[in-house]
Amino acid sequence: MFIDRARIYVEAGAGGDGRSSFRREKFVEKGGPNGGNGGRGGDVILKADKNLNTLIDFRYKRKFVAKRGGHGGNSNCTGPRADDVIVKVPLGTLVRDDATGVRLADLTEDGQEYVIAKGGRGGKGNACYVTSTNRAPTFAEKGEPGELRWIKLEMKLLADVGLVGYPSVGKSSIIAQVSAARPEIAAYHFTTLTPVLGVVRIDAERSFVLADIPGLIEGAHEGVGLGHDFLRHVERTKVLLHVLDVSGTDGRDPIEDFEKINFELSQYSERLGRRKQLVVANKMDLPEGQENFQRVKEYVEAKGYEIVKASAATGEGLQELMYKAYEMLQNFEPEPDEEENIIMDEIDPDSFEITACADADFEVKGKNIERLVAMTNFDNDEALYRFQLIWKSLGIDAALKEKGIQEGQTVRIRDMVFEFKEY
């Protein structure tokens, strides 16, 4: 089954907790703190794999969670780092954040990796907090939570040349003649319901990948017919072979077909509308094809396109067609990518936002303050004092006062609710 879209949940492992312990040995006076750091949580990594050609695996497994790191030990022993979780995806997979829709990665090369969720760092043990004024700290950090999010995977075929055109113009017959691909071929519309890839070999050293894109119809850019399901698979192709049924056996005018398909391509994407095209006058073995060819040729060439005669039924002209397609590939100049990958942690980690909240008077959101709350052991007085110092240094106290907070009102950060007091 061909599945080219999926929505999955990824969660990296939390870091291990730091250890609060002290060295106690006979005859060793004032051994001091020796609590080790926690180990880092496992990452969730997407990896492109050329052996995959569909996202069907994500129909049965949609949740990928890495393990947390090991806790720190005595004698300054650092906890073990957790293993990463590798999620394999097909080449040509776009990765988008489900909440914002921004593009995070485009995995187009075999073995290419992208860390979609970073594991949390391990909490520091009490040995890390020894200072000249505090020789025996009793607190240690908790492990940092791992990143988690829902993401969308969208696969776009990686093909050099794409066959486009109305249903039943002969695209499947052409790819079956020139490659080892065996698409379903029958005398009714939409026989091909999924894109089909085939390798065309010009000679022992030259080849390219040809894609048979399911038939497009008027309104495809708005989702009519197969619409958006397969128009996006055309986006990565470098050259388009626009197949026309010049015989008009289905009662359609090939010139009207030509204009309608080009309109759909340009409406879906301006870049797609500018893509190099070679027009294929198919079904030239029929008398009606011979009669219509000159009229179609004059119209297409007046629009600035080259046209080639072909017959998928007899194989006539297909070799010349493949040579011309390969030649156009060699002269292809890629356009710059209009959509860039977004790095999610570009925002200043010290920045924060104060908003209204349903179960508290105010809510504070920000990367560093939320991480601080998650990693602080509030049962320890020293840890609580350190939290208050960092809270003030981030400017949260002053910002809350600007918002009009009064003593006794509550502030939510993550799953903790604090009562505001003046000190």
Instruction: Look at the block and give the residue holding tokens 């095209």.
Output: 277
Higher pLDDT pick, 331 / 151: 151
At residue 183 the predicted structure's pLDDT band, cuts being 50, 70 and 90, is low
184-198, 241-255, 351-365: least confidently modelled range: 184-198
**What pLDDT does residue 272 have?**
80
Strand partners, 115: 45
Separation of first and last alpha carbons in the chain = 64
Helix, strand, coil percent content, the chain, rounded in steps of 5: 25, 25, 50
Q: What contacts 231, CB < 8 A, 6 or more positions away?
A: 216, 220, 221, 264, 265, 268, 269, 272
Do residues 10 and 148 lie in contact, with contact meaning Cβ atoms separated by under 8 Å?
Answer: yes
**What pLDDT does residue 225 have?**
45
Mean pLDDT of 153-178: 85
Neighbours of 285 (CB within 10 A): 16
Residue 187 has pLDDT above 50, yes or no: no
At residue 251 the predicted structure's pLDDT band, cuts being 50, 70 and 90, is confident
Strand partners, 264: none
Mean pLDDT in the chain? 86
State the amino acid at position 156 in one-letter form.
Answer: K
Long-range contacts formed by 336-341: CB under 8 A, 24+ apart: 338/271, 339/103, 340/103, 341/103, 341/104, 341/105, 341/106
The CA distance from 404 to 389, in Å, is 21
* pTM assigned to the model: 0.78
At residue 328 the predicted structure's pLDDT band, cuts being 50, 70 and 90, is very high
pLDDT in tens, 212-234: 877 565 554 454 444 446 677 77
The CA distance from 92 to 127, in Å, is 47
State the amino acid at position 346 in one-letter form.
Answer: E
Residue 191 has pLDDT above 50, yes or no: no
Do residues 352 and 364 lie in contact, with contact meaning Cβ atoms separated by under 8 Å?
Answer: yes
The CA distance from 104 to 385, in Å, is 38
In the three-class reduction of DSSP (H, G, I as helix; E, B as strand; rest coil), residue 123 is classed as: coil
Give φ, ψ of 173 to 5 degrees. Answer: -65, -35
Q: For 275-341, where are the alpha helices, taking DSSP H only?
A: 287-302, 318-330
pLDDT in tens, 253-265: 899 989 988 888 8
**What pLDDT does residue 188 have?**
39
Q: For 43-119, where are the alpha helices, taking DSSP H only?
A: none
Q: Whose CA is closest to 329, among 279, 280, 282, 278? A: 278
Mean pLDDT of 313-337: 87
The CA distance from 268 to 272, in Å, is 7
In the three-class reduction of DSSP (H, G, I as helix; E, B as strand; rest coil), residue 398 is classed as: helix
pLDDT in tens, 103-153: 999 999 999 999 999 999 999 999 999 988 888 899 999 999 999 999 999
